[in-house]
Structure 1
Amino acid sequence: MSLFIASLNSGSNGNCYYIGNERDAVLVDAGISCRETEKRMLRLGLSMNKVRAIFISHEHSDHINGVAVLAKKYQLKVYITPKTMLNGGLALQPHLVAPFTGYEPERVGEMDITAFPKFHDAADPHSFMVSYQGINVGIFTDIGAPCQHVIQHFSQCHAAFLEANYCETLLEQGRYPYHLKRRIRSGHGHLSNTQALDIFKTHRPAHMSHLLLAHLSKDNNNPELVQNLFNAHANGTHVSVASRYAESEVYQIVNGLQTWRSGFERELGQFSLF
């Protein structure tokens, strides 16, 4: 049994993450357009026909921009809290709205998706864990501080999307005004490279096979810097940086063992189970 994961986009210009098994899939956040979501999934050999639902973490535009069109076109359930719905100003068809509550798993196909609260400057923000046949994949982005909720779930993951938003030095020396710098590092903004690395080094389980570093700042971080920082502590975990400009590879998570398919294999049609 496997879970397949991919980042379709990750950053302040849009966030969307794919998690699915051989039959069913979900999207966590839908911050890029419906058309761009379709194009990126097609390039990866993934099918929108397997997507059953969208889970929304919070109401900021880079997480919800594409949700209304995607949900309407494919008649997808949108799991969202009432406060997030209200503050996002979303116009969703009523029959597609599915409120969720933290720590109460939602079943999609044979997958269980559990939401849990996080620190972020939004009305009712949540992170998610997707579980299937004993495999756990966590989606931990837009986190102001590594609270116990994050630590508890990260320590159970076979694979995870983990925010590494900013380099402290680049943020301090950068062009952002003081009030924005303060917001980012306030404890309700974003995780720094140092905070993310500490989570990884201290709470990574032995079975974690794959880590995608997510939501990097365009101005206050550098993908190569982050990659090198985490590679030095990878100890067998495959670490990659999720791009703000393109989709990632599709990674197959099997009982804590990671594999991935190259573009060459996809061209040969080896992705038929999507």
Structure 2
Amino acid sequence: MQLFITSLNSGSNGNCYYVGNEQEAVLVDVGICCRQIEIRMKRLGLSMDKVKAVFISHEHSDHIRGVEIVAKKYKLPVYITSQTLRNSRLYLPKSQVFTFEAYQPVFIGELCVLPFPKKHDASDPHSFTVTYQDLTVGVFTDIGLSCEHVIRHFSQCHAAFLEANYDEEMLEKGKYPIYLKRRIRGGHGHLSNRQALQLFTSSRPPYMSHLLLSHLSHENNNPDLVKELFSAHAQDTEIVVASRFYETPVYTISHTSLSANTIPRRSYGIPQQLHLPL
């Protein structure tokens, strides 16, 4: 029993996260172009035939930029809330749009995707956990603060993508205008390194094997700084900084995983897909 995860890209220039088992996978957000997704997945030995659905967290362009082409080319269902769809200006065939609501699980084959609310300056933003049997991976980005929803689900994850967007001192001394600084740190913007570390140290379960630090600011953060900060508190959790320029390796998540392993380079067949009704 295993889950496989990778960040295909993470940052304000585009976000796309992959979670899957041996048979099927989902993409959480598609903020980079279809061609780059294909190139990066091929380098990792992953096949788009295995991807069975796309889940959209909110309507900001760095999370939806590539959705229309990916969904059309691969005939993928797109799971999105009604409000997010209205505000996204996406043009998707009705047959490929599946709306979801908070705390209503969606089953994609043997994967269970659970959406739940988060604090962010979008119309109806959600985070997700993806569970296969009793393994759970969380995607926690674009969160202004660690609300009770985030804390509860983070504490159940065997691995997680966690936003560490900005260093507070770098943001304060940086060139961003005051209104943008206020937006970022105002409770509905992004999570700072310190806030993310507090969540990690206070709510990490003992079985969390991997933490992928995500959505780092290009202007207000530093990958080496973040890696050093979290590594000092990592214990048995492997700390990975997701890049805004390229994909991470594929990490194998299991009950015994304490280190990263790239899955074998092979393609997968297309299993039957299950959807909840609208």
| TM-score normalised to structure 2 length | 0.95
What does the per-residue CA deviation read over 1:108-142, in whole Å, with 9 as the maximum and x for residues that have no partner? 01010000000000000000000001000000000
Q: Percent same amino acid among aligned pairs?
A: 61
The alignment status of 1:70 with 2:70, answered yes or no, reads yes
1:14 aligns with 2:17: no
- Counterpart check, 1:209 vs 2:209: yes
Amino acid at match of 1:271: R
How many residues get paired?
268
Shift of 1:255: 1.9
Residue 154 in structure 1 maps to residue 148 in structure 2: no
Q: 1:256: Cα distance to partner?
A: 5.5
Which residue in 2 is equivalent to 1:272? 266
Contact 1:134 1:255 in 2 (8 A): no
- The Cα of 1:231 is off from its aligned counterpart by 0.3
1:272 corresponds to which letter in structure 2? Answer: R
- Say if 1:24 and 1:194 are closer, same or farther in 2 by CA, change over 3 A: same
> After the TM superposition, which parts of structure 1 deviate over 3 Å for at least 4 consecutive aligned residues?
none
Letter in structure 1 aligned against 2:230 = F
Distance in 1 between residues matched to 2:21 and 2:133, nearest whole Å: 10
- Look up the match of 1:56: 56
Which residue identity does 2:181 align to in structure 1? Answer: K
Q: Is the 8 A contact 2:227 2:239 kept in 1?
A: yes
Give me the whole-angstrom Cα distance separating, in 2, the residues matched to 1:84 and 1:155: 27
Contact 1:52 1:76 in 2 (8 A): yes
Structure 1 gaps, min length 5? none
Kindly provide the amino acid, as one letter, of the partner of residue 185 in structure 2: R
Amino acid at match of 1:55: F
Aligned-partner residue type, residue 15 of structure 2: N
Q: 2:69 and 2:259 mapped to 1: Cα distance? A: 33
SS of 1:49's partner is helix
Which runs of structure 2 are paired with 1:146-225 in the superposition (5 Å)?
146-225=146-225
Deviation per residue, 1:73-103 (Å, 9 max, x gap): 0000000001100101000011000000100
Cα root mean square deviation, aligned: 1.0
Whichever residue aligns with residue 132 of structure 2, its letter is Y
Q: Report the AA paired with residue 155 of structure 1.
A: S
Check the 8 A contact 1:4/1:21 in 2, yes or no: yes
Q: Is the 8 A contact 2:236 2:258 kept in 1?
A: no
CA 273–72 in structure 1, closer or farther in 2 if over 3 Å, else same: closer
| Shift in Å, 1:271 | 2.6
**1:240 alignment counterpart:** 240
d(CA) in 1 for partners of 2:256 and 2:204? 12
The question of whether the paired residues in 2 share the 8 Å contact of 1:158 and 1:256 is answered with no
Any unmatched runs of 5+ in structure 2?
269-278
SS of residue paired to 1:41: helix
Aligned residue number for residue 230 of structure 1:
230
Separation in 1 of the partners of 2:254 and 2:193?
Answer: 28
CA contact (8 A) 2:141 2:161 kept: yes
1:158-203 per-position Cα deviation (integer Å, ceiling 9, x unaligned): 0000000000000000000000000000000000000000000000
- Aligned partners of 2:267 and 2:53: how far apart in 1? 19
Residue 26 of structure 1 and its aligned partner are, at CA, apart by 0.2
Q: How far is the alpha carbon of 1:273 from its aligned partner? A: 6.2
SS in 1 for 2:197: helix
Question: Cα gap change, 1:239/1:214 in structure 2, threshold over 3 Å: closer, same or farther?
Answer: same
Aligned equivalents of 1:131, 1:76: Cα separation in 2: 20
Where does residue 88 of structure 2 map in the other structure? 88
Conserved 8 A contact 1:138-1:159: yes
CA separation in 1, counterparts of 2:70 and 2:259? 29
Q: Distance in 2 between matches of 1:228 and 1:39?
A: 30
Task: Tell me the distance in 1 between the aligned counterparts of 2:259 and 2:31.
Answer: 27
Give the 3-state SS of the residue equivalent to 1:257 in structure 2. coil
Distance 1:258 1:69 in 2: 37
Aligned residues of 1:14 and 1:32 also touching (Cα < 8 A): yes
Query: How many angstroms apart in 1 are the aligned matches of 2:258 and 2:161?
Result: 14
Per-residue deviation at 1:260? 2.6
